Chains A and B, each alone.
Chain A
Amino acid sequence: MTLGTFLAILGAALAAGLAGIGSAIGVGMGGQAAAGVTSEDPDKFGSCLILQLLPGTQGIYGLLIAFIVFIKINVFSELAALTMEQGLGILAGCIPIAAVGLISAIHQGKVAVSGMALVAKRPEEQSKAIVMAVMVETYAILALLVSFLAVFFAL
């Protein structure tokens, strides 16, 4: 394996890893709050579950980028030999979704937790709580876009 290829895999690992960590933290926080609300009123489980799931998408975006990197460097059959410049290019392309995915998922988790407090008090306002949490995700989507274009056109 060349250094370039290694760097590309590192980029993929960071994208899936960091975004995944962010989602794990976000969904984890959401889960704790959801358990609290559900203990008071088991009927609210459904609404809380949706809110809990929202910070989970960043992990999927990270996976998506990692996967595209894998396709690009042909992990599944004959590994491509990348130059160092090419590898660095891919690594750089992975950074937006890795960093933004990590942080936005945590913050989205916090908004989701507050949203559950809102749902606990006023179940009819569930959709508003969801929209608030979705606002945070916009930036993860923009990062996904940048990462995708960078990785896709880097090679």
Chain B
Amino acid sequence: MALLPFKKLTLIAHSEDAEKVLTLLSRTGSAEVISTSEIEGCARGDAASRAEKADVRSAELSFCFDFWRAEKVKLNKIVKKQTEENPITKYQKKKIPLLEKIRARKPDVSFDTFDHILEENEDIAAVEKRLHEIGDEETELKGESTRNAALREQLKFYETVDVPFSDIKSSRRVECVLGLVPTDTWAVADLSDCPDLAFETFGNRQRMTTAFFAYPTAEREFYADKLASLGFNRTTFDFPMTAKDKIAALTARDEEIFRRGVELAEEAVAYEDEVRGRMEILSDYYRVEREKCDAIDRTFRTESTFVLTAWVPAHMAEDTEKVFADSGVAYVSMYEDPKEDDKYPTLAKNNPVVTPYESITNMYSAPSPREIDPNPFVAFFYFILFGLMVSDAAYGLILAIGGFGLYALKRPRKGEGHLLLIIGMGGVSTFIWGVMFGGYFGESFFSPVLFNPMNEPLKMLILSVALGVFQIMFGMGIAFVQKCKNGKPFHAIFGEGSWFLLFIGLGLFVASGMVSGMAALKLPGLIVLAVGGAGVLIGGAMGKKGVKGKVLGAFGNVYNVTGFMSDILSYCRLFGLGLATGVVGMVVNLIATILCGLIPVVGYVLFVAVLVVGHVFNIAINTLGAYVHNSRLQYVEFFSRFYTGGGHIFKPMGSNLKYIHLSNKGGNQS
């Protein structure tokens, strides 16, 4: 139930054992290597070229993974479009049963397999090479197809000319040309000065007219100029085919290209089953390799030794030491407690109920390693507030069964599936509050234990604000304890302490005026209020320099009252969200009932449909709302009272794995 202490490990070993040491450390998963402080006469470790090699290989592997994904997307699209009479590809999307999909998780790989993954993978190299070839061919085909499309577009102007282009030849006496002339100019062209010009047009397309001209070769210059002035553009096509045939040929070629593309995609995807598993291990191998390189860069070395520094959780120090002792490596190690200004990593250890909520805290910022672990408090308040926002017993039951049920089905590894547990526990909380308020699917089938927020909204509002006051006070209490622990009791007393007095005094004073029989409390209330106020003034003045600074600080501190007020009012969202669930549920029921009465028989179907869709929507939108608004209340209203954060989560070497899970299963540890 706390943030764990760390030890600083300094380790010296022979350079030739460096690889072995790094491998051992990445296996124990107990060390985050940090920069060794500078040692005179020694050089920093340098693994730049090794890191580069790893990066290149990683990039190569991700190329393959991306390539496969793209090819599968392509094939899936074709599969969706193709008909049974005209099948294009035999490719089939792998159908994974739902249960397996839910249970999907990173495969276990033994250390042994992991360390020997570099051996015997000529086939992977071959696949990579082939994938590149396929990619190149596809690019080429794609280019050809684009060019074909452009050419086809041009040829369409000549579709109506039923003579092959090569047949349009000029003779010694007559020159013949085919081309396009703008329709607008052609329509108003004055050809009165061209007695010897013969022409034929072949229709218009995109404001261009396809035209054939013939004129005497002897007067070529005159006619060429004339035609140019009309905007005539002679075609460059000269192949022995009509435009129509050429278009057909191009279309046929495009079809071929398409088929070839499908073939290539099928071939590429076919390799996946064979090598992907090992390539994923390889990919993670290079991730660890990269971590090792970073670790080397942080060491210092002499000619034959190196010095490595790392943070090791105190409880793992002994095991780590044992692994080294058993390994046969010659080494010297030293474990020190962190110094005052050392910033060591954060590793929280909590009971299984609190652990999932660590992810909520870490989303904001990981705790700084020396402060009080906020996770148990976050867990407590998150649990309470979640249910209040959804506040429907039936929804709660569904969420609890859904969250815990999926978790049970999935059986995630330790440290995963936290969100499911948060939702499941949120469901429990929702159920409890739902019973309190008597909300079941937006109806009140059972009378509420506390009150019905729809009938008595003021009570609901007071409850929300009261919870807010409680949580904020609680946060200040933590700050109070923390300040006392850090040896600043005066800060605690004049900070949080005087605010407490001020609020208690205010409460007594207000109560004396409003509740009969408590009038006697007026004076004590005022006294407590005054003492508290004075404390707040002193607290504001503390640590400020000069009279002016002290006065400004003192009154500035009083101004914080507005901050408290707005923070407390912020808890009204509990009221709003809680009520929204009930009302939307009610609306759904009402619409369903109205529809049911409106149309006979069909009405019943609609009734069920509206109920199911409506309530599923309501659960979804409100769970999402509860999740984010709850987080906000923790982050902004609660954390601002005591929490500093800014720590970084412990990331031991060897933990950066994307595809696999390393374990001792099926392999030995040597």
Q: Is B583 a contact partner of A53 (Cβ separation < 8 A)?
A: no
Say yes or no for A2: interface residue by CB 8 A criterion: no
Q: Assess whether B621 is interfacial by the CB under 8 Å rule.
A: yes
Known contacts A64-B584, A67-B583; is A141 also within 8 Å of B572 by CB? yes
**Given A131-B635, A152-B457 in contact, is the A67-B587 Cβ separation under 8 Å?**
yes
A57 contact from B570, B583, B621, Cβ within 8 A: B621
- Contact status B628-A54, CB under 8 Å: yes
Chain A contact residues, majority secondary structure: helix
Complex Cα gap A142–B574 (Å)? 11
CB-CB under 8 A for A145 and B575, given A50-B624, A54-B628, A131-B631: yes
Chain B residues closer than 8 Å to A83, beta-carbon distance: none
Q: Is there an interface contact between A63 and B584, defined as CB atoms closer than 8 Å?
A: yes
Q: Is B596 close to A, CB under 8 A?
A: no
Find residues 602-649 in chain B having any chain A CB closer than 8 Å to their own CB.
621, 624-625, 628-629, 631-632, 635-636
The docked-state distance in angstroms from the alpha carbon of A149 to that of B570 is 16
**Chain A residues within an 8 Å CB radius of B629:** 134, 137
**A135-B632 contact given A142-B569, A142-B572, CB 8 Å threshold:** yes
Q: Quick one: given A67-B586, A127-B363, A134-B629, are A148 and B570 in contact (CB under 8 Å)?
A: no
- Smallest CB gap from A57: residue in B: B625
Binary contact track A130-155/B, C-beta < 8 Å → 1, others 0? 11001101100110110011001000
A63 / chain B contacts, CB cutoff of 8 Å: 584, 587
Task: Tell me the bound Cα distance from A78 to B97 in angstroms.
Answer: 54
Q: Is the CB of B621 within 8 A of A141?
A: no
Among B552-577, those with CB < 8 Å from A are: 569-570, 572-573, 575-577
Asked if residues A145 and B572 are in contact (CB atoms below 8 Å), the reply is yes
Q: Is the CB of A60 within 8 A of B621?
A: yes
Whether B579 sits at the interface, judged by CB under 8 Å, is yes
B406 interface hit (Cβ, 8 Å) = no
B628 touches A134 (CB 8 A): yes
Q: Does A31 contact B (CB under 8 A)?
A: no
Name which residue of chain B comes closest to A126, CB basis: B363
Within 8 Å CB of B18, what residues of A?
none
B590 at the interface (CB under 8 A from A): yes
For window 259-308 of B, CB contacts with A under 8 Å fall at none
Could you give, for residues 500-519 of chain B, a 1 whenever the CB lies within 8 Å of some chain A CB and a 0 otherwise? 00000000000000000000
Are B583 and A131 neighbours in the complex by a CB distance under 8 Å?
Answer: no
A64 and B577 CA atoms in complex are apart in Å by: 11
* Min CB–CB distance B422 → chain A (angstroms): 13
Closest Cβ neighbor of A76 among chain B residues: B590
How many angstroms from the CA of A42 to the CA of B575 in the assembled complex?
A: 37
State which residues 88-139 of A face B: CB under 8 Å.
127-128, 130-131, 134-135, 137-138
What is the size, in residues, of chain B's interface with A at 8 Å between Cβ atoms?
28
Residues of A within 8 A of B580 (CB): 57, 60-61, 64, 144
- Residue on A nearest B365 in the bound complex, by CB: A128
Tell me, yes or no, whether A68 is within 8 Å of chain B by CB.
Answer: yes
Q: Is B461 an interface residue (CB 8 A)?
A: yes
Contacts of B575 in A (CB 8 A): 145
A56 within 8 Å of B (CB atoms): yes
Measured in the bound complex, the distance between the Cα atoms of B453 and A148 in whole Å is 12
CB distance from A154 to the nearest CB of B (A): 13
Residue on A nearest B580 in the bound complex, by CB? A64
Determine whether the beta carbon of B584 is less than 8 Å from that of A127: no
Q: Contact: A64 with B457, CB < 8 Å? A: no
* Cβ contact of B628, chosen from A56, A131, A145, cutoff 8 A: A131
Task: Assess the A56–B632 pair: CB atoms within 8 A.
Answer: no
A115 to B625, CA, bound (A): 17
Q: Shortest beta-carbon distance, B580 to chain A, in Å? A: 5
Would A148 and B586 count as touching, CB distance under 8 A?
no
Once bound together, how far apart are the Cα atoms of A57 and B587, in whole Å?
Answer: 15
A134 to B636 CA separation, bound complex (whole angstroms) = 11
Judge whether A145 and B461 touch: CB under 8 Å.
yes
- Chain A residues lying within 8 Å of B586, measured Cβ to Cβ, are 67
Complex: how many Å from CA A43 to CA B573? 32
Flag if A68 contacts B583 (CB, 8 Å): yes
Contacts A131-B632, A142-B569 given; indicate if A64 touches B579 (C-beta within 8 A).
Answer: yes
Q: Are B632 and A53 in contact (CB under 8 A)?
A: no
Candidates B457, B569, B624, B635; contact of A148 at CB < 8 Å? B457
Which chain B residue shows the least CB distance to A127? Answer: B363
Chain B residues with CB below 8 A from A61, complex form: 576, 580
How many Å lie between the Cα of A23 and that of B621 in the bound state? Answer: 14
**Is B573's CB under 8 angstroms from A141's CB?**
yes
Query: Which residues of B (582-607) have their CB < 8 Å from a CB of A?
Result: 583-584, 586-587, 590
CB pair A53–B624 under 8 Å, yes or no, is yes
Residues in chain A near residue B579, CB distance under 8 A:
64, 148
How far, in Å, is A63 (CB) from chain B's closest CB? 7
Q: Is the CB of B621 within 8 A of A53?
A: yes
Cα-based distance from A136 to B631 in the complex (angstroms):
14
From known contacts A145-B461, A148-B457, infer whether A64 and B573 are also in contact, taking CB-CB under 8 Å. no
Chain A residues near B364 (CB, 8 Å)? 127
Report A133 CB to chain B, min CB distance, Å: 8
- Provide the residues of chain A in CB contact with B625, threshold 8 Å: 57
Q: How far is the CA of A58 from the CA of B461 in the complex (A)?
A: 19
Alpha-carbon distance between A142 and B590 when the two chains are bound, in angstroms: 27
**For chain B residues 438-470, which have a beta carbon within 8 Å of chain A?**
457-458, 461
A54 to B575, CA, bound (A): 18
Given A56-B621, A57-B621, A57-B625: A127 in contact with B631 (beta carbons within 8 A): yes
* 460-511 of chain B: CB within 8 A of chain A: 461
**Residue numbers in A under 8 Å from B573 (CB-CB):** 138, 141
Shortest CB-to-CB span from A93 to chain B, Å, is 13
Query: Which A residues touch B461, using CB under 8 A?
Result: 145, 149
How far does the alpha carbon of A145 sit from the alpha carbon of B636 in the complex, in Å? Answer: 20
Mask, A58-92, CB within 8 Å of B = 1, is: 00110110011000000010000000000000000
Q: How far is the CA of A155 from the CA of B284 in the complex (A)?
A: 67
B-side contacts of A131, CB under 8 Å: 628, 631-632, 635
Cα(A28)–Cα(B572), bound, Å: 28
- Expressed in whole angstroms, the Cα–Cα distance for A138 and B628 within the complex equals 12
Q: How far is the CA of A134 from the CA of B573 in the complex (A)?
A: 11
A67 contacts across to B, CB distance below 8 A: 583, 586-587
Report the separation of the CA atoms of residues A22 and B596 in the bound assembly, to the nearest whole angstrom: 32
The answer, among B570, B584, B621, B635, for a CB contact under 8 Å with A138, is B570
Give the distance to chain A from B407, nearest Cβ to Cβ, in Å: 19
CB distance from A145 to the nearest CB of B (A): 5
Contact A149 B457 (CB under 8 A): yes
Within 8 Å CB of A137, what residues of B? 629
> Closest A-chain residue to B583, C-beta based?
A64
Collect the chain B residues with CB atoms within 8 Å of residue A57's CB.
580, 621, 625
In whole Å, how far is B585's beta carbon from the nearest beta carbon of chain A?
A: 11
Tell me, in angstroms, the Cα distance from A44 to B621 when the chains sit together.
Answer: 19
Which A residues lie within 8 Å of B621 (CB)? 53, 56-57, 60
For the A-B complex with A64-B583, A141-B576 known, give 8 more contacts whose Cβ atoms are closer than 8 Å: A53-B621, A53-B624, A63-B587, A130-B631, A131-B635, A134-B632, A138-B570, A152-B457
Q: List 14 A-B contacts (CB under 8 A).
A: A56-B621, A57-B580, A60-B621, A61-B580, A67-B587, A130-B631, A134-B629, A135-B632, A135-B636, A137-B629, A145-B575, A148-B579, A149-B458, A152-B457
Q: What are the 6 tightest A-B residue pairs by CB atom distance, in nearest-first order?
A: A127-B363, A141-B576, A141-B573, A64-B583, A144-B576, A145-B572
Contact surface of A with B, Cβ cutoff 8 Å? 50, 53-54, 56-57, 60-61, 63-64, 67-68, 76, 127-128, 130-131, 134-135, 137-138, 141-142, 144-145, 148-149, 152
